[in-house]
Structure 1
Amino acid sequence: MLSRLSPEERERLSNIDPGAWYDVRLMGQVMDTIAQEFQADEALMMEIGRYDADRELSGVHRWFMRLMRPSFAIRHMNLYWRRSHDTGTWRSWQQDSEVSAELRDWAIASRPMCVTVLGYLGRMLELFGGKLGPLEHPECRAQGAPACVFRTHLELSTDEPRPGRRPTRADVCAVARELAQYPDPGSLVEAVLTLLRFQFGCGWVELWSNGPEDRMQLLGASGEQASGERRRFVLELAGRTVGRLEVELPRGLRQGSVDEVLNELVPWFAVALEVARKPQGEPPELQEKESELKRRLRRARDIAQLTPRQVEVLELVARGKTNKEVAAVLGRSEGTVEVHVTNLLRKYGASNRAGLVAMFWGEL
């Protein structure tokens, strides 16, 4: 297959960093080459998509499947898509057993790529444990339609997450990355309650957020209080209290291990809550600062020809986020963030991140 690509395309493939972002058009070119040069039918493209789903959803994204009810995952398909794509928008819905999804404005319009996406979606829905009907792709941008439409039938015995083994300390980083992806308090609350009730086995959970005048507001609760041991965790970030978590630990031998993992996760709950909370009623001076930030980001992007991911990292660094906090927000490893920060330092000739921030707010 590589021999069938142009020298420029082969060079681009050889220079891809597995931990970084790349132009999705390159993936489209590879799939088109497989389909055309090897006369591959759509069954092979479907299998490639299914393989990708198995690889991702049983590995780095496995908690995506375990923290969501199937109905939630279907409604919020775009939330997951934005983790690995910076183009394209999904609109997805479910009516009885029929599942429909529409993808608009993706950077590529390729029938083979669409078929791999169809295979990916089908395998993802299978992992919820239901009975899947035939997969359909009745409208395709590659064939002149304004958007790609996908449909199938999914019959589920229950709209509950699939339980698995209980989280351990080895899972803390993966769970933390997952929780930091939810863009609003409602989505985050559902994920946290699902994690603690279904995966940790806590009998009762309450998540609170620190509101105006430092008054705690209940965001969500699940279960009923009984006679088990209760724990209260204060969620703090940068010396500020952002909320609290109250749980009733499971009884028996699991109690100690659950308590241990919860203590490891508490700082990440605080980060996720801060990311998900949307500021309300900001004073005009903060709104002006926000518009100034966007202006400087546009100028920084144009001066150094930054990629979309580099702009995201620069924005968070300019806001004073550490590499660990940037990684949590973007769902990437600290090592990947360090690579982006190093590239930003080189592009702007700054010796350290403090100099980069000073340059951003002073010279751009």
Structure 2
Amino acid sequence: MERLPVRDRGIIAYDIVLWLKEKYGGEMAGKIIERLSPEAAKMLSDPKPGDWYPVELMREVYDVLDEMFSEKEPRALESLGRFMADHGLRGFMRLVVSIISVKTIVWRISTLWNYYHEGGRAEVPVIKDEGAHKKGVMTISGYNAGQGWCKVMDGYISFIVEATGAKDIRVEKQTCLSKGDRVCSWLVSWQE
């Protein structure tokens, strides 16, 4: 059986460029593009939000971002994740998220995943109630965009949970496909 390609919606690459320009100016986007392969550079030079791009190109972008920022600004990619989540929650969607619970978002996680990614799978198989605190483990399988992407997800997850009005949010990376684990996973805890 032939494996289907794993791809990301172009809005992700578009948001990366937007974040770079807003936070660091247009010159930084150029510095990132210079370090990419011709295919990845072409994608990031003019990303089309509605197109689909191979995850290998996105991984290359995340790897370069991680190399460029990890030493001087270790939380930069987390900031990118928060930016992407914020950019995705505009207008009516922000209102909807602000009045629903984290559990409701969890029930829709696969739909949200499939909007941005072709291939791979997102799940939150268990949510535990521990008094006022809740815990869940988010897992991503069949999708490996590298360790830089995992840092982006730290910020993305935090922002989405925060947007529901939850407090005392913690996101802790547990396992990583890039490190040989079966899935990428995050332990997420919050108080509603």
Same fold judged by TM-score > 0.5? yes
- For residues 95 and 132 of structure 1, do their structure 2 counterparts lie closer, same or farther at Cα, with a shift above 3 Å needed? same
The question of whether the paired residues in 2 share the 8 Å contact of 1:89 and 1:103 is answered with: yes
Amino acid aligned to 1:121: I
- Which of 150, 154, 165 is 1:118 aligned to? 154
Matches within 5 A, 1:39-188: 39-40=70-71, 41-59=73-91, 61-62=93-94, 65=97, 68-92=100-124, 93-96=126-129, 97-106=134-143, 108-156=144-192
- Which of 13, 20, 38 is 1:7 aligned to? 38
The question of whether the paired residues in 1 share the 8 Å contact of 2:99 and 2:164 is answered with: no
Shift of 1:140: 0.7
The alignment's C-alpha RMSD in Å is: 2.2
Shift of 1:70: 2.6
Encode CA deviations 1:270-310: one digit per residue, 9 max, x unaligned.
xxxxxxxxxxxxxxxxxxxxxxxxxxxxxxxxxxxxxxxxx
Shift of 1:34: 1.4
Whose radius of gyration is greater, 1 or 2?
Answer: 1
- Which of 42, 58, 72 is 1:27 aligned to? 58
Encode CA deviations 1:116-135: one digit per residue, 9 max, x unaligned.
11210111000111113331
- For residues 131 and 67 of structure 1, do their structure 2 counterparts lie closer, same or farther at Cα, with a shift above 3 Å needed? closer
Q: How many residue pairs were aligned?
A: 155
Q: Distance in 2 between matches of 1:25 and 1:62?
A: 31
Aligned to 2:115, the other structure's residue is in SS state coil
Amino acid aligned to 1:154: W
The question of whether the paired residues in 2 share the 8 Å contact of 1:16 and 1:22 is answered with: no
Q: TM-score, normalised by structure 2?
A: 0.71
Shift of 1:28: 2.0
Shift of 1:67: 7.2
Q: Distance in 1 between matches of 2:160 and 2:69?
A: 27
Residue equivalent to 2:25? none
Q: Structure 2: which 5+ runs fail to align?
A: 1-31
Amino acid aligned to 2:33: L
Q: Structure 1: which 5+ runs fail to align?
A: 157-364
Shift of 1:114: 0.9
Q: Distance in 1 between matches of 2:98 and 2:164?
A: 9
Residue equivalent to 1:202? none
Query: Higher strand fraction: Structure 1 or Structure 2?
Result: 2
Amino acid aligned to 1:49: G
Amino acid aligned to 1:141: L
The question of whether the paired residues in 2 share the 8 Å contact of 1:75 and 1:94 is answered with: no
Q: Distance in 1 between matches of 2:99 and 2:116?
A: 18
Instruction: Among all aligned residue pairs of Structure 1 and Structure 2, give the percentage whose two residues are the same amino acid.
Output: 25
